[in-house]
Amino acid sequence: MPSLKGKDIISALELTREEVEHLYKVADELKQAFEAFGSLDIARNKVMITAFFEPSTRTKISFQMAMARLGGTVVDFLASVSSLAKGETDYDTIRILDGYDPDIIVIRQKKPGFPAEVAPWVKAPIINAGDGYNEHPTQALLDVYTISRELGKVDGVHIAIMGDLKYGRTPSSLSYLLSKFNDITIYYVAPEPLQIREEVIKNVEGKVRYELLNDIRELRGKPVDVIYVTRLQKERLPDPSMYESLKGSYRIDAALLKELFGDNIPIIMHPLPRTWELDTSVDPLPQAKYFQQAKNGLYVRAALIKEILGL
């Protein structure tokens, strides 16, 4: 059986299909256990630090809820009221947090590559909860879990990943994780300035089939099982005027989905938060899976914590 005990989770590229499938089995078991018993006590005496240097709602709360439901303790580092304000560096901050001997540190950072940079000298296993535009491996884990549980398979899936593929970190990690499966087709749908980064294509080349498209309407007549929508990453654009020019340049609503796909609307996913790209008219459709997707983060992250702690 694959073991993640004591491992860092830095990139979705490092995970194997066996590890992922094992995690999903554990996630299913924990979901059932949480529903039956509320909380467990298998992580008693274990402590997880959440160190988020960038804003978060779902990732942070689902990690914290997961540890709470496993019976462990969470200590939260709150960047906004920390010694960062006194000029302490984020490197020193991590060194100090690690010095208190936590069992796991979950890090979100705006510097791409930060978790990989500190991992060699941090004693605790590190989980990358998003590093700038680079990667968000645990989001990919819950995304592929959602696909697998909603469609009953991952192999053979046709997915359109749409929106800000250049400055977003979820399209890269999702592509990497899907590349571990067989016969995957990815349509990257984005206006030219937001198309998927070169390095992502390099990393999936030969492992998935892909097409670059500029508009969702180009999907008409193609087989599509999933549309994964992402927001324009306003905070990461090199020039603020780009936001105004790209705002509204891609968007789905219920009427457009009906027009393009008729009775065969694909499942709709989004890592959230949404802004203008995913209209609320999609919410009542049975294919809208983004709230379930966010909830799945709890089970998948609980499974990851359990496996890293070797419980």
- The residues annotated as belonging to the active site are 58-59, 86, 108, 136
How many residues of this chain bind ligand ASP (CB under 6 A)? 7
| Nearest approach, Cβ of residue 263 and ligand ASP (Å) | 30
How big is the CA angle at 250 (ends 246 and 252), to the nearest 5 degrees?
150
Q: Is 163 in the site for ligand ASP (CB under 6 A)?
A: no
Task: Please list, in sequence order, all residues whose beta carbon lies within 8 angstroms of the beta carbon of residue 192, skipping any fewer than 6 positions away.
Answer: 214
Distances (CA, A) of 39 to 42, 66, 71: 9, 9, 6
What residue number has its CB nearest to ligand ASP? Answer: 271
Closest separation between CB of residue 162 and ligand ASP, Å? 13
Residue among 72 and 170 whose Cβ is closer to ligand ASP: 170
170 in contact with ligand ASP (CB under 6 A): yes
Residue 302 C-beta: closest distance to ligand ASP, Å: 19
Question: Residue 180, interface with ligand ASP (CB under 6 A)?
Answer: no
Kindly identify the residues of this chain, within the stretch 30-59, that bind ligand ASP according to CB under 6 A.
none
Q: Identify which of residues 136 and 149 has a Cβ nearer to ligand ASP in the complex.
A: 136
**Secondary structure (3-state) at 211:** strand
What whole-number distance in Å separates Cα of residue 289 and Cα of residue 128? 24
**Is there binding between residue 289 and ligand ASP (CB under 6 A)?**
no
Q: Among residues 144 and 309, whose Cβ is nearest to ligand ASP?
A: 144
Q: How far is the CB of 277 from ligand ASP (least distance, A)?
A: 10
Only one residue has tokens 């491996």, namely 137
Site string for ligand ASP, 210-249 (x = CB under 6 A): --------------------xx------------------
Q: b vs e for 176-191, b when ≥16 Cβ sit within 10 Å of the residue's Cβ?
A: bbbbbbeebbbbbbbb
Distance spanning both ends of the chain, measured CA to CA: 14
Q: Which is nearer to ligand ASP, 72 or 168 (CB)?
A: 168
Q: How far apart are CA 101 and CA 113, in angstroms?
A: 23
Taking the least distance from each CB to ligand ASP, the nearer of 174 and 216 is: 174
**HSE (CB half, 13 Å, CA atoms) of 242?**
16
Does residue 130 touch ligand ASP according to CB under 6 A?
yes
- Three-state secondary structure along 50-94? EEECCCCCHHHHHHHHHHHHCCCEEEEEEHHHCHHHHCCCHHHHH
Q: Does 169 bind ligand ASP (CB under 6 A)?
A: yes
Among 46, 60, 136, 306, binds ligand ASP (CB under 6 A): 136
- Nearer residue to ligand ASP within complex by CB, 115 or 130: 130
Partnered with residue 158 across adjacent β-strands are 185
Give the three-state DSSP class for 225.
coil
CB of 201 to ligand ASP, least distance (A): 20
Cα separation of 250 and 163, whole Å? Answer: 7
Return the closest-CA partner of residue 250 out of 173, 171, 201, 195.
195
Q: Does 125 bind ligand ASP (CB under 6 A)?
A: no
Among 102, 125, 171, 271, indicate the residue that binds ligand ASP (CB under 6 A): 271
Nearer to ligand ASP, 134 or 260 (CB): 134
Contact by Cβ (8 Å): 107, 144: no
Residue ranges in contact with ligand ASP by CB under 6 A: 130, 136, 169-170, 230-231, 271
